[in-house]
Chains A and B, each alone.
Chain A
Amino acid sequence: MADLAVIGAGPAGLAAALAAAAQGVTVAVVDSATEAGGQFYRQPASGLRARRPQALHHQWRTWERLRDALPGSGVRILTDHHVWSVERDSDGFTVHALLGPEQHEPVAVHADAVLLATGGYERVLPFPGWTLPGVVTAGGAQAMLKAGLVVPGRKAVVAGTGPLLLPVATGLAAAGVEIAALVEAADPKDLVRHGRALAGKLPEGAGYAARLLRHRVRLLSRHTVVRAHGDERLTGVTVAALDTDGRVRPGTERYVPCDTLAVGHGMLPHTDLAETLGCRLDGMTVAVDDEQRTDVPGVWAAGESTGIGGAGLALAEGHIAGRSIAARLNGTEPDPVQWAAAAKSRTKLRKSAAALDAAYPPPAHWSEQVTDDTVVCRCEEVTAGAVRDAVDELGAGDVRTVKLLTRAGMGWCQGRMCGPAVAGLAGCELTPSRRPFARPVPLGVLARQHHIATEEGTS
């Protein structure tokens, strides 16, 4: 039993936990990883004895401050807890999790309030050859670097769009991987146009640019990967230039040999738990007020789940949420003056997040490059051709109907991977799917909970 259950031990969750605990709130933080830190401050396994993990991180100081504050704060960190549902009951909330790594043993955490700091996941857009071994997501490559210090290959292409590509390219280069090219779909001119809102980010970008130079990384902006080649595994990619409409310019294709392709197209928020709790969503994000409250009483949200904005924004939002929760649990009206600095930084960082989002759109016509035989949904092995047939021949006009008619999105990942691809191919807007189970749960766990509930009811 805790006053507050925080789901997610990344920057938002930890900042909230510390802010609330400082006001006397009993906090339990639940996370699926083996160490706190989230994706951003992902920690190497201690057995690896990494000597300088900070070499892979920026804002290492911020992390040290969070990490060092935790032991004396009274915050309980529950790692290896894989949350599959949050249930609202008569006396608060029950966070249902499975204990890892086997994920068979159930565990429940009860709390009066819940903070959803569930972060985001990568947007994956398919292209011919994207399922070959050797093709990884940009975030996946970075996670490998941060967690395992395993270098994915010897010669890599980093491609896609978004601010993640720079640190991935420099991180891989620093780890000794030759970067054959950094392929960015966005136009650098767009970055300049959004320059003012990005002012805070520019020194960061300049630092990466210097490192790219040092490692002699070839930057191909307004380019895209149109195909990955290889039989057993990746041997190279074809890259091509994009015109101003975001279409591939014919005749510009060229072959770049590589054994690793790290590809990313930005992030999407995790909203499953919020949606099942009945929280209002605003497009793909959880809607919150100035205090980071959702419209469900007792449920707050902070960090990427309320809009992709990076670790700095997550810290600010988490801090505000923690303060608000502490006041509300004590039955008092919170005083925003207490978090004025965080609110100011939230305003600024939300602005630059919006500017980054506008500057780094996926190539407008990416789906034209996807051949009919390209597998779109890996779990159910559904091809782009099958998705197009469902739309053109069977009258599907939305992601749900495509799923019903093709099984795309019905498999293990429940459409997290293929959702954006299916929406793009079907020519419709991506909307949040309903996923009552945030992760698969054994039927025996559900059955036992039924027996316990009914016994309690009859006794």
Chain B
Amino acid sequence: MVGAACALYAARAGLDVILVDRGPVAGGTTGAGEGNILVSDKEPGPELDLALLSGRLWGELAQEFGAAVEYEAKGGVVVASSPGGLAALERFADGQRAAGVVAEPVAGDALYDLEPHLAPGLPGAVHYPQDCQVMPALAAAHLARASGARLFTGRTVTDVLRTQDGAVRGVRTDKGDIHTPALVNAAGTWGGELAALAGVRLPVLPRRGFVLVTEPLPRLVRHKVYAADYVADVASDSAALQTSPVVEGTAAGPILIGSSRERVGFDRTFSLPVVRALAASATRLFPFLSDVHAMRAYLGFRPYMPDHLPAIGPDPRVPGLYHACGHEGAGIGLATGTGHLIAQALTAKTPDLDLTPLRPDRFAEEAA
């Protein structure tokens, strides 16, 4: 998704773009994502600024692609499970509001007007109308096509070609060399490997997540609904399994149930205990789901970075190398802002956001 967005914005900035992927379109983390475009789960700071920019850009793209990418400005509802939890959630929302987020407290009964099928007796929630959703694989495929970029799928980059003074001059692939003065690393969870081919360190780690998919249903869950603990889990550094319920309907009918986080490398083994935990937390939030069938489950690997911020912008260590990866679970939502900022960097414009906190070489210094 990030690669497709980079291609789109770079092409619209007037550049000639080639999009290379070792798999098919949306074959990596994109194809295993839920398609979240969220501000609700982000605390004030550089990621929230990027989310707000990205949300605006998604709104623009929706004019163009809307139905084809199943864009839905459905809004998010973050539910507290205890009065204490609600107070903490409202404090968190106060901070977000100051940073430009629309966050509306929802007390008691009003919550059931928003989501009639929620479990009874919940103390309250915060409603985030700016939260949206797209179908990620469709979004990536349509953005890639609209970019007009030459699309080379099934082609693996095996080396980064550099000039004598160390600048990028192209990539070597298993099907021949491609010459270019500018290389954007949008390899997601595998971004560290591509960086290594260029001789630089970028600590991108996989954080596994499962999604449960139900049979198609009429619209019973109207927003993206999740428990307040989700925010804490997203920000955590633990390697152990964490699950917090995230429940949302889709344009096509099935309900998607997340979310789990584990650092287990690239282990693709199906885990019944994880999907059981997801089912338990989702049915606690929406009791009607008990009788609904799970049709399938899939897993993916979020590109996780030690400080939970993506790497976006030029790499001062290798002239011509730009990074656009490490968005963890927010890559679909943050793709548009990332693509826009990368296009600005590629065309030597002043970026709309300060890229300092996202600079790709920030970890190398820490390691030294």
Contacts and interface: CB of A to CB of B under 8 A. Distances in A.
Which of B151, B254, B277 has its CB near the most chain A CB atoms (within 10 A)?
A: B277
Contacts of B175: none
Interface string A378-409: 00100000000010011111101100110100
Which of B214, B291, B293 has its CB near the most chain A CB atoms (within 10 A)?
A: B293
B345 interface: no
A337 interface: no
Contact of A444 (B24, B27, B275, B291): B291
A276 interface: yes
Contacts of B292: 442-443
A292 interface: no
B174 to A, nearest CB: 15
Given A401-B26, A434-B270, A443-B257, 13 more contacts: A87-B272, A394-B141, A396-B24, A397-B154, A405-B137, A410-B254, A410-B296, A412-B295, A443-B292, A444-B283, A444-B289, A446-B294, A450-B277
A253 to B, nearest CB: 37
A311 B139 CA distance: 48
B12 to A, nearest CB: 19
Nearest to B252: A407
A32 interface: no
Interface string B96-122: 000000000000000000000000000
A85 interface: yes
B276 A436 contact: no
Interface residues of A, number: 37
A410 B216 CA distance: 10
Interface in A406-459: 407, 410-412, 414, 434-437, 440-444, 446-447, 449-451, 453
Interface of B: 24-27, 31, 137-138, 141-142, 144-145, 151, 153-154, 212-216, 252, 254, 257, 269-270, 272-273, 275-280, 282-284, 289-298
A350 B215 CA distance: 39
Kindly list the 9 A-B residue pairs having the minimum CB-CB distance in the complex, ordered from nearest. Answer: A444-B290, A446-B279, A404-B137, A440-B293, A450-B276, A450-B280, A394-B141, A401-B24, A447-B280
A442 B290 contact: yes
B81 to A, nearest CB: 16
A394 B25 contact: yes
Contacts of A449: 276
A207 interface: no
Contacts of A442: 290-294
Nearest to B27: A401
Nearest to A390: B141
8 contacts: A397-B24, A404-B26, A411-B216, A436-B297, A443-B212, A443-B289, A447-B282, A453-B276
Interface of A: 85, 87, 104, 276, 278, 380, 390, 393-398, 400-401, 404-405, 407, 410-412, 414, 434-437, 440-444, 446-447, 449-451, 453
Given A397-B24, A397-B154, A450-B279, A278 B269 contact: yes
Which of B272, B273, B296, B297 has its CB near the most chain A CB atoms (within 10 A)?
A: B272
A134 to B, nearest CB: 27
Given A395-B145, A436-B270, A441 B293 contact: yes
A410 B253 CA distance: 11
B282 A443 contact: yes
B316 to A, nearest CB: 34
A276 B270 contact: yes
A397 B295 CA distance: 24
A90 to B, nearest CB: 12
Nearest to A444: B290
B5 to A, nearest CB: 15
A106 B213 CA distance: 20
Contacts of A404: 26, 31, 137-138
Contacts of B154: 397
Contacts of B279: 443-444, 446-447, 450
A397 B291 CA distance: 37
Contact of A447 (B153, B216, B290): B290
